[in-house]
Every structure is written in C-alpha cells, then in structure tokens.
Structure 1
Amino acid sequence: MHLGKVVPILRIFDEAKALEFYVDFLGFKVDWQHRFEANFPLYLQVSFGECVLHLSEHHGDCSPGAAVRIQAQGLEAYQQQLLAKDYRYAKPGIEETPWETREMSISDPSGNRLVFVEG
C-alpha cells in the first residue's frame, strides 16, 4: 500500500475575492482554471511550493468552513511579508502551541481556515 499527496478542495463563493486572497495576499500562483461553459462555476488549482489547493465554486464539491494544516518553514518571515502587504481582512499572528509548534491561522473570504504550521 502506498498513498500519495492529498489535495484539499476548498469551497469559494467569490472568484475575485478568492484570487485577491490566495494570489495577491498569500502569494500562491494559479496553475489552471476550468469552467464547463461561460457563466458556470469556476474550479481552479493554486500552488505555493509543494502546497497545492483546489478551489471550487461548485455547490456539491465541498462545504465552506474547512480547515487545512499546511507544513511551513520560515513562518516568521512569511508572516512579516503578509503584514507588509497591509491586507484589509487579515493581520495574522503566530501562536506558540502547547504541542511545541508555531502556527499562523488565516481565514479566507469563504470562511475556510488555513493553518501554517512550523515545528
């Protein structure tokens, strides 16, 4: 038995706000986008390093409000980059946890929570 990497699907409601958050703010890049036709829901893949996420406007793909834990290195430098962007909707902090990790939690415009974990 061998299992490969996991690619979470996160529900989004507003394409422009999702791209502003994931691309402009967090620094992910859009790998590809798909619509069955014009004026249909968007499905796309974004990535940052080895982290790959699928974002979907399709109602049946997933529920909003998911949480994803993402392994990270250089968390403090990344946090400083994000704070320097002065994004109106998130000013992330880093938490030292009792289980000896450093974590930075940020919610996207659709209510999904990304937890960047170091340690």
Structure 2
Amino acid sequence: MSLGTVTPILRLFDETMTREFYVDFLGFQVDWEHRFEGNFPLYMQVSRDGCLLQLSGHFGDCCPGAAIRITTTDVDAYQAELLAKEYRHARPGVTEAPWGGREMSIQDPAGNRLTFYNRDPEISA
C-alpha cells in the first residue's frame, strides 16, 4: 500500500483574473477545463513542472482563503522571474523562515495563499 500525490482544489471567483494570475503571472499552463453546461462554473487544472492545482468556481468544492505550500528548487530565481513580469497585483518578496529555509508567499485573486519554498536537502521529500 502506498499513497500518491496530493492535488489541492482552490476556489476561484473571477475566471479572467484567475487565468491572468496562474497562467500569465505564475507561468502555469492550463491542462484541461470542464463545465457541466455552457453557463455553469469553471473547473480547471493548471500545472507547472510537477505541481498540479485544480481551480473550481463551484460552491461547496472548497473555501476561499486556503493556504498551500509548494516546493521549488530555487525560490529566489522564481521571484526574479515573477518580478520581471511587473504584474500589477503582486510584487512578492522572499523571506527567511524562522524555522529555516527561504520562502515567498503570494495571494491569488480568491484570497488563497500560495507559499513557494526551497526544499531542505537535509529532509527527504
């Protein structure tokens, strides 16, 4: 028996702002989209490298304001990439965490907090 990876589901409200944030700013790609009918809420998956996120406009799937942590091999390089885009809604900074390591937190348009951090090589994944 073994467990697999976790795919968080995050709430979305504004589809245009959500795409701008995840695709244009963070550099994720849209893997797929689903609607039960033409005017129903959007459910979609975005990914970048090994990170998968699902975003839902459906009431009851999840609550806005979630917090997730995403490992990265170089949070400082990712920050430089993001700052170069001059995104009007965020200029994320990198900080030293009190427990060690470097991390960068950003809120998406629905108020979900994504924290990107350097994985500690001393700790197995």
Q: What TM-score, normalized by structure 1, do the two folds share?
A: 0.98
Q: Which amino acid aligns with 1:23?
A: V
> Is 1:12 equivalent to 2:12 in the alignment?
yes
2:123 aligns with none
User: Which residues of 2 match residues 3-82 of structure 1 at below 5 A?
Assistant: 3-82=3-82
Aligned residues: 119
> Match of 2:73, SS?
coil
Deviation at 1:101, TM superposition (A): 1.2
Q: Structure 2: where are the runs of 5+ without partners? A: 121-125
Q: Structure 1: where are the runs of 5+ without partners? A: none
Q: What do you get for the CA RMSD once the two structures are aligned?
A: 0.6
Q: Hey, what's the Cα distance between the residues in 2 that align with 1:112 and 1:92?
A: 14
Q: Hey, what's the Cα distance between the residues in 2 that align with 1:106 and 1:65?
A: 12
Q: Deviations over 1:23-75 (max 9, x none)?
A: 00000000000000101000000000000000000011000000010011121
2:109 aligns with 109
Stretches (4+) displaced over 2 A: none
Q: Which amino acid aligns with 1:91?
A: R
Q: Hey, what's the Cα distance between the residues in 2 that align with 1:98 and 1:13?
A: 33
Identity %: 64
